[in-house]
Structure 1
Amino acid sequence: MARFVALVLALAQAAAALALPLDARSSSPKLVFAHHIVGNTFTYTQDTWTNDILLAASKGIDAFALNIGPDSWELGQVSSAFAAAESLSANTTFKLFISFDMSVFPCSQASHASTIQQYIQQFAGHPNQLQVSGRPFVSTFSGESCTFGTGSVNQGWTNVVRTSGLNAYFVPSFFVDPATFGSYPVADGVFGWNSGWPTGNFNITFDPDQSYIANLGGRAYMAAASAWFFTHYSPQTFDKNFIYRGDDWLLAQRWEALIAHRDAVDFVEVNTWNDYGESHYVGPIEGVQPASQAWVDGFDHTAWLDLIAHYITAFKTGAPAPITRDRTFLWARLAPANANAPADTVGRPANWQWTSDALWAIIQLTSPATVTLTCGPSALTAPLPAGTSKLRLALVAECDVASSVTRGGQSVAFKPEGMHFSTAPAAYNFNAFVVASP
């Protein structure tokens, strides 16, 4: 454990050296956050928070958005997170802010405002509270119907974040028509939660972001970045069983668009660090899962963090991130979309037709090389230039994934353990299996 902390601490210090301090960027920030579900941290200790913060900071992430609900124990975990961040303040400028999950917080009466205000007040002056324009940053998931006993949503939130000595920098995720943003002058910006993935059978574009930006009137825009979405709950539990389309290297394409439009994007929030139930986690599998073990256990996603770190550098600096070693990033579903799994009574997820059976590869090379991808009868060999390239390999039969990089007569093979495509799966698991070469 000590060696792990020392290694990640060194990486965090290196990442910090590449970026300006938060205070220097506050007037025109280019910051990246990760959405952290506090509801999944019941068993966390301060050391767990320390490890999460060190890992995130080493990848260029500036802050955790602490998604909280009304459960009383969550306050203790938020306090533990802030204590962990403060204990590392000599080594990293990592910050935290609260993102209130208004899908579970009551918000129809004036008395409901006090719990939210108390959270903001308790941490507003903490040295690790994210400050933008000298004000504590506060966000939400939902909240577009909250009036807190007033005559309008705008007045309700004004009473929450602009009274009792509070002057929060408020960037909510309201699920409303962007054309109505003018009705919410209380918002200093808006978070486009669903901008990180296509919600239909089409490739992701920047068009939804453009709609947000065009209607914000110069206020801040926070975009989402994600790599996957799959949830598989029965009607007897959370009754959510569907996918969003993650094909065509979603993670890479999303970050490339954000980099191309970086002048119009103030903040990016990675969705998410640990939402296991919806399969878009990029942090370690730890804490308490929300009954998602059937599709999460054995499907580590932390390899995506290194790829995200590459794009974060480019987003912050406006220049391509240097590639210092050859890397191969691979991800795929491990069964055909139309395969049958009769023992899985939850059933095949909705929108399953939106995804193709393919291995998605991002190849980073320090100099030109020939790259080969194989899985059973499927094989692809391509000469690739230095830099970052994308490859796609169709998965058509039972097989094990393998790849190789060949340069100057020398070949380096990568055979990821457990990356087996099965045509007879035991369950409908549309989660991504993610690996990266050493």
Structure 2
Amino acid sequence: MHFSYIFHRLLVLLLPLLSATVTSTPLEKRGSGQKYVFAHHIVGNTFSYTVDNWLDDIKLANANGIDAFALNIGSDSWEPNQVKKAYAAAEQSKTTFKLFISFDMTALPCATARNAASLRNYITTYAKHPSQFKYNGKVFASTFSGEKCTFGQRSVSQGWVSQFTGQLTGSNSVFFVPSFFVDPNNFRTYASAMDGQLNWNSAWPITVTTNSLSSTLKASGATAGRALTRQGSPLVTEVGEFIYLSDQLYPSRWQSIIEARDHIPMVEVLTWNDYGESHYVGPIKGSQPNSQAWVDGFDHSAWLDLTKYFSLAYKNGKYPVVANDNIYMWARPHAKNAIASSDPIGKPNNFGVSEDALFVVVLTSAPANATLSTSSVSHTVAVPAGLTQLSLPLNAGDSIYASISRGNTIIVKLAPRNFRFEANPKTYNFNAFTAMASSNSR
């Protein structure tokens, strides 16, 4: 029987996998030393959104320790109007919540100078908006990809400088932190074009495959950078495509970020609503990209609730005192080696990196006993005040249960009735089922 637990430290397996190489130039001085937590919001999944829908997202994110949405902008003609609604909602929210544009350069054209003008228009439109996120007094902007964009110039750096950042001056000046998918050793090549690097792939151990999982992996080792934005994500799986090692990833990744917080001014949660790849912490709403088969019924609000705890620790430099006892649990719906009866696509690549287990985080206000149970086995362990990570193997047909108790009194328990670890699924689904319970809600 395997029963593992961790007190405020990283899983040994994940520690070397989750370090990230960052920009090699000196870290820009941060006047206030303030830390920020963003969440990546896919505008392409908001076709049906009203201003009120945006307002609900903003208030929910703000209540859970998120400071701003990175609005991922693609090429659909209706997206500018949704951006307009988002900024209107942020202003209406009467909160400190901010927004900034993240250009999806896998969708937006970038071969000509005219293409760059479209990007600049977003910046100039919202530069003076009260809900625009600014850093060092400049309009903050980011990208997904863009490392091949020249905008008609001789090089990528020349294209971004002469057609984008260099033309945005005065109140429109931009603090540009793109996510260029290049070898970190080559960041210097783009130094003139960017103020920092959005390290997208630091969110997951992307090089871990089924065959390499048991190998000894070396940490890449964080080095000083200018404005480094690191990523945190609960999991990544795309039906019929790929899966990254992510069973215990979200709490473990957060802890590694908190340990290195002095060198990380910003963290971006991936994502708020990328349903297609299953890594969402926001509610299931809007217009899904035909992902209903593996998303509907798999709410991830437990991860969003847990985000607030880690966000406070990251921003303040110490873990917050736990006032109420909380249980967060998650598991995949079926065994990794299960055989689906009628799946036309098949399993994602490297499905073997996932573990057939129930994963639990307990936040306890005082020392307590934590019990994890399935239909097959039950185990209890003493836990200290604060955060503890636990796991228990799952077998086909298992139901799941967790509780926190002191003495003979159960303080809080969680036994989701709508979960059973399937033996023979109809179709494959490597998304995660999540649930939570709090002593505050009894």
Contact 2:151 2:159 (8 Å CA) reproduced: yes
- Alignment of structure 1 residues 5-404 onto 2, 5 Å: 27-89=32-94, 92-158=95-161, 159-165=163-169, 166-184=172-190, 185-199=192-206, 200-201=208-209, 202=213, 207-208=219-220, 210=222, 213-214=223-224, 216=225, 219-232=226-239, 241-247=241-247, 249-404=248-403
In structure 1, what residue type is equivalent to 2:243?
A: I
1:27 CA drift (Å): 4.4
The separation in 1 between residues aligned to 2:404 and 2:273, in whole angstroms, is 32
The separation in 1 between residues aligned to 2:89 and 2:40, in whole angstroms, is 17
Runs of 4+ in 1 over 4 A off after TM superposition: 202-206
Unaligned runs of 5+ in 1: 1-24, 234-240
Partner of 1:16: none
The separation in 2 between residues aligned to 1:272 and 1:206, in whole angstroms, is 27
1:39 CA drift (Å): 0.2
| CA deviation profile, 1:16-48 (whole Å, cap 9, x unmatched) | xxxxxxxxx864331010000000000000000
The separation in 1 between residues aligned to 2:60 and 2:376, in whole angstroms, is 38
The separation in 1 between residues aligned to 2:348 and 2:97, in whole angstroms, is 38
In structure 1, what residue type is equivalent to 2:137?
A: G
Greater mean deviation of Cα atoms: 364-373 or 62-71: 364-373
The separation in 2 between residues aligned to 1:96 and 1:62, in whole angstroms, is 9
Contact 1:206 1:257 (8 Å CA) reproduced: no
Residues 1:328 and 1:266: Cα distance change in structure 2 (over 3 Å): same
Helix, strand or coil: the match of 2:82? Answer: helix
The separation in 2 between residues aligned to 1:49 and 1:220, in whole angstroms, is 28
Aligned sequence identity (%): 48
Helix, strand or coil: the match of 1:223? Answer: strand
1:67 CA drift (Å): 0.1
1:291 CA drift (Å): 0.5
1:164 CA drift (Å): 4.9
Residues 1:345 and 1:205: Cα distance change in structure 2 (over 3 Å): same
Contact 2:103 2:144 (8 Å CA) reproduced: yes
* TM-score normalised by structure 2 residue count: 0.87
Residues 1:62 and 1:246: Cα distance change in structure 2 (over 3 Å): same
Helix, strand or coil: the match of 2:75? Answer: coil
* TM-score normalised by structure 1 residue count: 0.88
Helix, strand or coil: the match of 2:186? Answer: helix
Residues 1:115 and 1:93: Cα distance change in structure 2 (over 3 Å): same
Contact 1:369 1:405 (8 Å CA) reproduced: yes
Residues 1:429 and 1:437: Cα distance change in structure 2 (over 3 Å): same
Helix, strand or coil: the match of 2:337? Answer: coil
Say which structure is richer in helix.
Answer: 1
In structure 1, what residue type is equivalent to 2:429?
A: N
The separation in 2 between residues aligned to 1:410 and 1:423, in whole angstroms, is 34
Helix, strand or coil: the match of 1:175? Answer: coil
Contact 2:300 2:434 (8 Å CA) reproduced: yes
| CA deviation profile, 1:306-327 (whole Å, cap 9, x unmatched) | 1111000000000111101111
| CA deviation profile, 1:321-380 (whole Å, cap 9, x unmatched) | 110111111001011000000301110111011111011110111112111111111222
1:120 CA drift (Å): 1.1
The separation in 1 between residues aligned to 2:260 and 2:396, in whole angstroms, is 40
Unaligned runs of 5+ in 2: 1-29
The separation in 2 between residues aligned to 1:323 and 1:83, in whole angstroms, is 35
Contact 1:377 1:397 (8 Å CA) reproduced: no
In structure 1, what residue type is equivalent to 2:131?
A: N
In structure 2, what residue type is equivalent to 1:181?
A: F
The separation in 2 between residues aligned to 1:327 and 1:172, in whole angstroms, is 37
Partner of 1:236: none
1:386 CA drift (Å): 1.4
The separation in 2 between residues aligned to 1:28 and 1:367, in whole angstroms, is 32
The separation in 2 between residues aligned to 1:206 and 1:61, in whole angstroms, is 31
Partner of 1:20: none
| CA deviation profile, 1:377-416 (whole Å, cap 9, x unmatched) | 1222111111111111000231211122221211243211
Helix, strand or coil: the match of 2:146? Answer: coil
The separation in 1 between residues aligned to 2:53 and 2:76, in whole angstroms, is 20
The separation in 1 between residues aligned to 2:220 and 2:45, in whole angstroms, is 30
The separation in 2 between residues aligned to 1:399 and 1:422, in whole angstroms, is 8
The separation in 2 between residues aligned to 1:193 and 1:125, in whole angstroms, is 28
Partner of 2:4: none
The separation in 1 between residues aligned to 2:324 and 2:427, in whole angstroms, is 37
The separation in 2 between residues aligned to 1:186 and 1:45, in whole angstroms, is 36
Helix, strand or coil: the match of 1:79? Answer: helix
In structure 2, what residue type is equivalent to 1:160?
A: F
Residues 1:151 and 1:309: Cα distance change in structure 2 (over 3 Å): same
Paired residue total: 399
